[in-house]
Amino acid sequence: MSVMKRLSGIVQAKANKALDKAENPADMLDLSYEKQVENLQKVRRALADVATARKRLELQASQLQGQAQKLQDQAKQALGQGQEDLAREALGRRATLAEQLDSLGTQHQQIEQQQQQLETTATRLQAQVDAFRTRKETLKASYTASKAQASIGEAVSGISESMTDAGMTLDRAQDKIAQMQARAGAIDELLDTGALPDALGTGGDDIQRQLDATSRAGQVDAELAALKAEVGAGAPAQGLPAAGASSPEAAGPAAGDGQEGAPA
């Protein structure tokens, strides 16, 4: 059976149910006015939530992008050092991040659509609230006339249908927001626990450690060669930086005490 007719039936049933509480036409008018104002506030709150969720997605995307770029640079550096396995590892991790980024992109599109629908809903509700505020007083003033009662009925049914639409749109947006938040939370957790390696640049970055170790070893070799040339073979290596110095820039003049210097 027709999707549009079934949906219409569902919307009408919800709209009628919302009106069941009202005892008389005047109550109906007041009740639906209050509901409109209430719904408008809810839609505005949902809009703020959507904006927050969107910002969070954008932040995560830029974190992931930064990390992907870093891995790309590391792969290049590793290749430069002749460490193909390490380059492969970096590129593999980068591919995982790219998948995450793709899915964030899809989410971002969805949330933009939510935002747009909620904005439309808010504008529409605002226009409706403004128009209804004056109309309801006019209708109430004359509601004893049978014709006016019919107009009240029509007005209220029409408003109630729009309110139902707004309510359904709100529910949908809230579901989406909850899904996004859950997903954003999961990505944060991945970033934190390092399952997506070092996306925050915190903690140990094993690829960087290996790259640093290799470049440190290279530096030490170069310094040794220079020293050998300077002092001649056989002399103990005085004043060399400690081989295990913590900084990759250990080549500086801040040397160790020489006791641990590698023998030439």
Partner 1 sequence: MIVRILGEGRYDLPEADLPVIEQLDAQLVDALDRSDEAAFAGTLADLVGEVRHAGTLIPADDVRTSELVVPHEGSTLDEVRDLLAQGS
Residue 121 or 208: the one with the smaller Cβ distance to partner 1 is: 121
Determine whether 37 is exposed, middle or buried from the number of CB atoms within 10 Å of its CB (0-12, 13-18, 19+): middle
Question: What is the nearest approach in angstroms of partner 1 to the Cβ of residue 207?
Answer: 38
Judged by CB under 8 A, the chain residues 30 through 69 that form the site for partner 1 are: none
CA dist 120 to 117, 158, 173, Å?
5, 18, 13
Which is closer to partner 1, CB of 9 or CB of 185?
9
Please name the residues in contact with 71: beta carbons below 8 A apart, sequence gap of 6 or more: 90, 91, 93, 94, 97, 207
Helices (H) and strands (E) in the chain, counts: 5, 0
Q: Tell how far CA 147 is from the center of its chain.
A: 54
Per DSSP, the residues of 156-211 read HHHHHHHHHHHHHHHHHHHHHHHHHHHHHHHHHHHHHHTSSTTTTS-S--HHHHHH
- How big is the site for partner 1, counted in residues (CB under 8 A)? 37
State which amino acid sits at residue 89: E
Among 169, 196, 208, 220, binds partner 1 (CB under 8 A): 169
Near partner 1 by CB under 8 A: residue from 81, 117, 179, 215 = 117
**According to the binding rule CB under 8 A, does residue 16 interact with partner 1?**
no
Query: Given candidates 149, 161, 174, 264, which one binds partner 1 under the rule CB under 8 A?
Result: 161
What tokens were used for 195?
A: 């399952």
Instruction: Name residues contacting partner 1, limited to 123-152 (CB under 8 A).
Output: 124-125, 127-128, 131-132, 135
> Among the candidate windows 82-90, 120-128, 192-200, 254-262, which touches partner 1 by CB under 8 A?
120-128
Residue 121 touches partner 1, criterion: CB under 8 A: yes
Using CB under 8 A, which of 155, 187, 211, 250 touches partner 1? 155
Binding site for partner 1 (CB under 8 A): 1-13, 15, 110, 113, 117, 120-121, 124-125, 127-128, 131-132, 135, 154-155, 157-159, 161-162, 165, 168-169, 172
